[in-house]
Amino acid sequence: MNATERFLRYAAIPTRSDPDSTATPSTDCQFSLARLLADELTALGLTNARVTDNCFVYAALPATLGLEGQPCLGLIAHMDTAPDYPGEGVKPQLHPNYDGGDIVLSATGAVLSPARFPSLNGLKGKTLITTDGSTLLGADDKAGVAEIMTALERVIASGRPHGPVAVAFTPDEETGLGIAGFDVEGFGAAYAYTVDGGEVGELSYENFNACEATLDFRGVNVHPGSAKDTMVNACLLAMEYNAMLPSAETPRHTEGYEGFFHLEEMEGGVAHARLVYIVRDHDAGRFEARRDQLRHIAKVMNERWGEGAVTLTLRDQYRNMKEKIAPYPFLIENARAAMRAAGCEPFDAAVRGGTDGAQLCYRGLPCPNLCTGGFAFHGPFEHIAAEDMELCARMLEELICLPRK
């Protein structure tokens, strides 16, 4: 089975995670894919394939004769899809020999256009896989899952020599909470790679520092007919707070290494309002400055409107993996060598987000991130080329078979 066939099979299984759940997994539907993968790993010949009570899939590929003493390489991808957009009833649409033009998504009439998604320009002539517009596609990260499975099957079938390999498929990456249950010691790898990136050739060993900021605004609600000098409207306090943040430092206006404040949620009335932001920056100093800015605005508003008018709660999410990868330059060298052997030119790209690997780095498992070939994740315009998934599977084959330090 090739990577595309596997991906289409996995995409049909709903695995949408739930950010409001505190359980792991956050949704029971993730077990359906987990059990299928464990069965497939066993059928391929991997050992000790299992699904844990919290929906992690683990398995091991023993080394070929004479290479048992090499360090164990880990490969990791996540099974859940983003809660941002429906992930049930996914119906992938195949467009053989894509002509480079607009694609009308049949279920909604929305248009996938190179004018908005320039990534399409590099996919002309390939077999493009899109949604029908009613769901996301799930290439994030079922493409990574399919590519790992395909690479394992091919390495085993080829008989190529290789060191030991540990494999894991994880739940709830999209909520940022699932990886806390990852058994680093039991996994047994000396180092690993997540396969959860984008464009072919993309290699990432930097990511955002990240936190969530929740602002609660306490107002004073009285009858509006007699409210002069008495009413304090919590919704207006929230608007005032947001207006003091830099308007150009949002996701819409930033790229590369530029950080941002992203307003994700807002709710409220006169008596109480709430804003929820995610705060991101690659640089640790600038990240802390952003947190200080949030604190300062809250302080200024409390001085103006009275103590307790604004309450700020900061919750750390993840940190930049760069400092944890730096002592292991061979991880980057090996990834580049594998990409070139597979036929693509690697390029470094700082992740404008986080990965499970970023959290694992701080638990003693260095873990850069590799490409899957997908684009426009988390929504109806998600797309990927079949040929690029096959190339990524070849990259993983080469990585598995490279000599290790």
Q: What is the pLDDT of residues 149-199, one digit of tens each?
A: 999 999 999 999 999 999 999 999 998 889 999 999 999 999 999 999 999
DSSP percent split of the chain into helix, strand, coil, nearest 5 = 35, 25, 45
Note the pLDDT of residue 269.
97
**In terms of C-beta density within 10 A (0-12 exposed, 13-18 middle, 19 or more buried), how is residue 190 classed?**
middle
Tell me where in the chain the CATH 3.40.630.10 domain(s) lie. 3-206+320-401
Query: Is there a catalytic annotation at residue 173?
Result: yes
Over residues 35-41, the mean pLDDT reads: 98
Kindly tell me the sign of the dihedral angle through the C-alpha atoms of 92, 94, 100, 106: negative
Other residues' Cβ atoms within 10 Å of the Cβ of residue 119: 17
Q: What is the pLDDT of residues 286-302, one digit of tens each?
A: 999 999 999 999 999 99
Note the pLDDT of residue 404.
85
- The CATH class, in words, for 3-206+320-401 is alpha beta
Dist. CA 277–CA 213, nearest whole Å: 5
Q: Which of 147, 172, 173, 390 is catalytic?
A: 173
Note the pLDDT of residue 9.
98
The two structure tokens encoding residue 180: 């806390």
What percentage of the chain exceeds 90 in pLDDT? 96
State which fold the 209-317 domain adopts.
Alpha-Beta Plaits (3.30.70)
Query: Is there a catalytic annotation at residue 80?
Result: yes
Measure the N-to-C terminal CA separation of the chain; round to a whole number of Å.
31
Q: What is the pLDDT of residues 230-272, one digit of tens each?
A: 999 999 999 999 999 999 999 999 999 999 999 999 999 999 9
At residue 95's C-alpha, the angle toward residues 94 and 99, to 5°, is 165
Q: Which of 80, 202, 249, 382 is catalytic?
A: 80
Note the pLDDT of residue 94.
98
